[in-house]
Amino acid sequence: MKPVAAFVLVGAALAVAPFLGLPAFYESFLYLVFSWVVLATSWNLLSGYAGYFSFGHAAFFGAGVYATAVLGGKLGWSLLATLPLAAGVPALLGVTLGAVIFRVRALRGELFAVLTLAVTFVVSTIVLNTPIDGGPGVMLSAVSIPKLAPSPSGTFYLMALILALISVYISYRVYHSRFGTGLFAIHDDEEVAEVMGVPTYRFKLGAFALSCALAGLAGGIHGVFVSYVTVAETFGHWLALYVILMAAIGGTRHWLGPALGAALVTTLLYAFTASEHALGGRAVVGLVLILVILFMPQGLLGRFSRRTPLPRNGLIPPDASMAVPGKEPILVIKGASKAFRGVQALGGVDLEVRRGEILGLVGPNGSGKSTLINVVSGHYPLDGGSIVFEGREIAGEAPHRIASGGIARTYQIPRPFAHLSVLENVALPPMFGRVAMDRGRAESEAWRWLEFTNLSEKAGRLPAELNLHERKFLELARALASRPKLLFLDEVLSGMTPSEMDEAIRLVRAIREQGATIVFVEHVMRAVMELTDRVVVLTNGRTIAEGVPREVMRNPQVIDAYLGAAHA
């Protein structure tokens, strides 16, 4: 059955309750459950999916509360009329904050958490001291609410139910969408996600805005439900922490996790409060949080969070040729220089890559090979020089744009997305690369490359379950899946046994047969000899030789560089 239908059915089933004479007490209790479902699920969109743990959810909830309070309580608007702004004001606040914070690479992890905590304090202080609240709180008993059910508590029940269904549905859709895959990739390894084509900045802002809007809506409704709002109650510290607790218990990587956690925790707390053990209830909640983080960090639904691959459809992916017509060199690097903290990693490198060739890039350890790949793919900005790809200057471009331009690379130490399956890892670049496919086509593209690298059997597994050589092949499949025009292989062979290496060499040949241009960084010399058309030798950040492999490796300067000078 289509998901929308399932949601509507569940919703309809729950919606009849107020009409069946449910006591107001239960309506209010369930209202609270639904409200917390909205808060936890909305929090999870940014914090659970993308990994940016926010401790400031109360700020956006509160912004929604006070948007409704001002418009409804002070200016006489009806609740429904205030809702667009109850969603819009927090969303705007979130986007403004995000626009600044997400640009700063260092503000992740615990710093982001502390920053969002600080934001809550600032917002609450401003609300407290300005005419928005001013101190005495705001009365909302006169705000008119729609008549959806026989009683007011029934109406709130239905409003919260609808909002909860919407939130969980959004969570579900995002989870299964390209957007969601991008967010999960950001969570696992934001730098690599960016290099693979995910527009990380935009996606984070989008998730944040959505999260804030939903929290604000919950706030707007809640303000009228309690009919009297104060700053202390609205921006209380416990809200920010309870949503984290709920999502953590239910499972932050699952679309239904936060909802489940919210239902469990709210019920638990209510049970304790009802039996006069409110204090004990809070202590138990604290204990549960500790136990969950220590023993079950992925939460109750965590183990179910593998998205099942769509059944292998019969779609035949378009022709796999990666050949690029034209005579001019596909990549021209001139005078590239890059220094890290005083160490000159690249000191003016000149390099040309011709179409359809396999170019070997060799040199002793520390010669700058990996740095060169990193600057071309956009990981690091260049200090000086230019990189022209297909006639276009790409030095300084955002990594995801370089990726969609047709450059792909593998990592020397494989960096797969740890919580995405093998198939999803390989399907990611086609989704975000220059061909930008939808999930179905991206997955069938991924299947093709998994077959090519003999990994089809492991498609549903997590990368951690693969051994090193399989992970290297996964890197390869992932890089190939974006149909790059230019492919950088960074020490693909290191750590492999001789027979695994033979397989890899065969693969690289097969890739070349499809017309791709490959830059092959390697230490394993016999592979370099067998595979490459030309070789460039890099030492101390400079090119010292270039030409046909056999000749270059007999060049006395090159031999010196490798084996070291006997005398100065």
> Smaller CB distance to other proteins: residue 126 or 315?
126
Q: Least distance in Å: CB of 415 to other proteins?
A: 14
| CB 189 within 8 Å of CB 210 | no
Q: Which stretch binds other proteins (CB under 8 A): 114-122, 211-219, 421-429, 434-442?
A: 114-122
Put residue 106 in one of left, alpha, beta given phi > 0 → left and psi -120 to 50 → alpha: alpha
Of 257, 245, 263, the closest CA to residue 305 belongs to 257
> Smaller CB distance to other proteins: residue 152 or 495?
495
Alpha-carbon radius of gyration of the chain: 28
Q: Which stretch binds other proteins (CB under 8 A): 77-85, 121-129, 187-195, 426-434?
A: 121-129
Structure tokens at 524: 């394993």
Beta strands 534-539 and 517-521, pairing class: unpaired
Site string for other proteins, 310-349 (x = CB under 8 A): ---------------------------------x------
Structure tokens at 507: 């693969």
Of 202, 198, 217, the closest CA to residue 160 belongs to 217
Q: Least distance in Å: CB of 189 to other proteins?
A: 15
286 lines the binding site for other proteins (CB under 8 A)? yes
| CB 389 within 8 Å of CB 405 | yes
Q: Least distance in Å: CB of 535 to other proteins?
A: 10
Element (H, E) at 213: helix 200-226
24 lines the binding site for other proteins (CB under 8 A)? no
Measured distance CA(79)–CA(499) in Å, rounded: 70
Residue in this structure with the two tokens 């009919």, named with its chain if needed:
227
> Smaller CB distance to other proteins: residue 282 or 379?
282
Q: Which of 244, 330, 336, 420 binds other proteins (CB under 8 A)?
A: 244
| CB 395 within 8 Å of CB 377 | no
Q: Least distance in Å: CB of 190 to other proteins?
A: 15
Please give the torsion angle defined by the CA atoms of residues 7, 11, 13 and 14, in that order, rounded to the nearest 10 degrees. 140
**246-259 as b/e: b if 16+ CB within 10 A:** bbbbbbbbbbbbbb
AA letter at 491:
E
Q: Which stretch binds other proteins (CB under 8 A): 73-81, 104-112, 188-196, 424-432?
A: 104-112
> Smaller CB distance to other proteins: residue 308 or 497?
497
23 lines the binding site for other proteins (CB under 8 A)? no
Q: Least distance in Å: CB of 526 to other proteins?
A: 5
Site string for other proteins, 357-396 (x = CB under 8 A): -------xxx------------------------------
Structure tokens at 187: 């969570």
Site string for other proteins, 443-482 (x = CB under 8 A): ------------------------xxx-------------
Integer angstrom CA distances of residue 453 from 95, 99, 131, 446, 481: 42, 40, 65, 11, 11
Site size for other proteins (CB under 8 A): 67
Structure tokens at 227: 């009919």
> Smaller CB distance to other proteins: residue 1 or 568?
568
- Terminal CA-CA length for the chain: 77
Q: Which parts of this chain interact with other proteins (CB under 8 A)?
A: 53, 100-101, 104, 106-107, 109-111, 113-115, 117-119, 121-122, 125-126, 128-129, 135, 237, 241, 244-245, 248, 279-280, 282-283, 285-290, 293-294, 297, 343, 364-366, 467-469, 491, 494-495, 497, 523-526, 528-529, 550, 553-554, 559, 562-566, 568
